[in-house]
Amino acid sequence: NQLANQIAAGEVVERPASVVKELLENSVDAEATRIDIDIERGGARLIRIVDNGRGIHKDDLPLALSRHATSKIRSFDDLCAVASMGFRGEALASIASVSRLLLRSRQEGQDIGWQAVTEGRDMAVKVSPAAAVVGTCIEVADLFFNTPARRKFLRTEKTEFTHIEDVVKRVALANPDVALVLKHNGKVVRRFPAATNNPEVKLKAVCGSAFCKAAIAFSGELEQLKIYGWLASPNYHRSESDTQFIFINQRPVKDRLLSHAIRQSYSGLIPTGRFASYVIYIDCPPSEVDVNVHPTKHEVRFRNPRFVHDFLVKLLQQCLASEAT
C-alpha cells in the first residue's frame, strides 16, 4: 500500500510546487475564499496551507488520506467536480506517502477540530481532537524524507520557491474571488487580494503594474466558445516568458496548440528572442475539452482544435491591430 502510494506520488509529486498545486486545488474545491501559504526552505522543510473552506468531517479524515478514488465520489456535487476539475482522488495519499503530513480541519457546526497525522512508513492514520477554526490546515513537512533519490533532485531553495510562486500566481488568476498570501521563511512575499468585481486588482498584483499599463483587454464569443483576457501591446516585449498565462475553464494549462496560435498572432510584431505577455481565459462546455490528458503536465485536448486555434488567432490579431491604429 505504502509502495503503491509512493509510485502514485511519482506521478503527482514532482517537487514542492506540485504539492502546493494539489493542495490549493483542494482548498478551491472546498470553496475557500482565503488561503494562507507558508513555505520554509523552498518547500523541502515545510509547506503549510491554511484555508477557510468547508472543512473535512472527523470521520472523513482517514478517507481523505486514502487512495481509493471512487470511494470518494459520494454525491452529485462530487461528480460535477469531476467534470470541472478532473478527478484522481489520490493526491493527499500520494503526498502523505513521501512526507510527514498533518491534516487538521473543522467544519461549521463542530465545536472542536480534529487532526490526522500520517508517518510516511506505514500510512496508519491517527485522528485526535485539536483546537482549530473552521477550515482546513495541511502541513507537509520534510518532503521526500523517505525517498532520498527524489530528495536529491530538488534544486536550490530559490528555484523551488520560484516554481511555487508560479503555481500560486496561476491559482490567483484562475480564482479572482480568492485571497492568497504567500510567505517564505516567515516573510510575506506575495499578497493577492480577492478581486471579485474588479479582476484588474488581481491582474496587477500578479503581473505587475507595467504589464497592466501595457495590457489591452479583449473578448469574443463564437458558438459556445468564449475567449477573453489581456494582451500586452507588442512594445512590451520581455526577455522572459514569465507573464504568459492561459486558463481553460478556470484551470491553468500549457498547451502547444494555444501557444502556437499566440505566437502566430504576435509574429513579426516582437523581436525574436523576446516574449509576449498575456493572460487568456478560455471558457467552453466541459464536453469540448479533455483537461485530464496527463495529471500534471497541463496539457489539454480539444474536441475541435482547429476551431479553437483559428478563433483565438482571429481575436488576438484583431486586438493587436486595434492597438496599432
Residues that bind ligand ADP (CB under 6 A): 22, 26-27, 30, 51, 53-56, 64, 72, 87-93, 136
All residues at 6 or more sequence positions from 129 whose CB lies less than 8 Å from its CB, including other chains:
112, 113, 114, 115
Cβ of 81: how many Cβ atoms within 10 Å? Answer: 15
Does residue 91 bind Mg ion (CB under 5 A)?
yes
Residue 66 host element (H or E): none
Beta carbon of residue 27, minimum distance to Mg ion (angstroms, whole number) = 9
All residues at 6 or more sequence positions from 263 whose CB lies less than 8 Å from its CB, including other chains:
276
Candidates 19-27, 58-66, 142-150, 178-186: pick the segment binding Mg ion (CB under 5 A). Answer: 19-27
Does residue 206 bind Mg ion (CB under 5 A)?
no
Candidates 23-31, 110-118, 184-192, 288-296: pick the segment binding Mg ion (CB under 5 A). Answer: 23-31
Amino acid at 197: N
Is residue 231 exposed (0-12), middle (13-18) or buried (19+ Cβ within 10 Å)? buried
If DSSP codes are grouped into helix, strand and coil, which group holds residue 324? helix
Say if residues 12 and 90 touch (Cβ distance below 8 Å): yes
Query: Beta partners for 275?
Result: 238
19, 20, 24, 26: which one binds Mg ion (CB under 5 A): 26
Only one residue has cell 492597438, namely 323
Closer to ligand ADP at the Cβ: 29 or 166? Answer: 29
Cβ of 128: how many Cβ atoms within 10 Å? Answer: 10
Q: Where are the beta strands (DSSP E) in the chain?
A: 34-40, 46-51, 100-106, 113-119, 125-130, 135-141, 179-184, 187-192, 215-222, 225-232, 244-248, 251-253, 278-283, 289-290, 301-302
Closer to Mg ion at the Cβ: 99 or 243? Answer: 99
Does residue 27 bind Mg ion (CB under 5 A)?
no
Beta carbon of residue 86, minimum distance to ligand ADP (angstroms, whole number) = 8
Beta carbon of residue 219, minimum distance to ligand ADP (angstroms, whole number) = 31
Beta carbon of residue 207, minimum distance to ligand ADP (angstroms, whole number) = 27
Closer to Mg ion at the Cβ: 46 or 91? Answer: 91
Beta carbon of residue 85, minimum distance to Mg ion (angstroms, whole number) = 8
Closer to Mg ion at the Cβ: 174 or 315? Answer: 174
Residues 34-53 that bind Mg ion (CB under 5 A): none
87 binds, among Mg ion, ligand ADP, none (CB under 5 to 8 A by kind): ligand ADP
Beta carbon of residue 246, minimum distance to Mg ion (angstroms, whole number) = 21
Query: Beta partners for 248?
Result: 251, 282
Closer to ligand ADP at the Cβ: 97 or 243? Answer: 97
Q: In the numeric block, which cell numbers belong to residue 284?
A: 467552453
Query: Beta partners for 261?
Result: none
Closer to Mg ion at the Cβ: 89 or 234? Answer: 89
Closer to Mg ion at the Cβ: 69 or 154? Answer: 69
Beta carbon of residue 282, minimum distance to ligand ADP (angstroms, whole number) = 23
Beta carbon of residue 67, minimum distance to ligand ADP (angstroms, whole number) = 8
37 binds, among ligand ADP, Mg ion, none (CB under 5 to 8 A by kind): none
56 binds, among ligand ADP, Mg ion, none (CB under 5 to 8 A by kind): ligand ADP
If DSSP codes are grouped into helix, strand and coil, which group holds residue 4? helix
- Compute the distance between CA of residue 52 and CA of residue 294 in angstroms, rounded to an integer: 29
Does residue 103 bind Mg ion (CB under 5 A)?
no
The binding site for Mg ion (CB under 5 A) comprises 26, 91
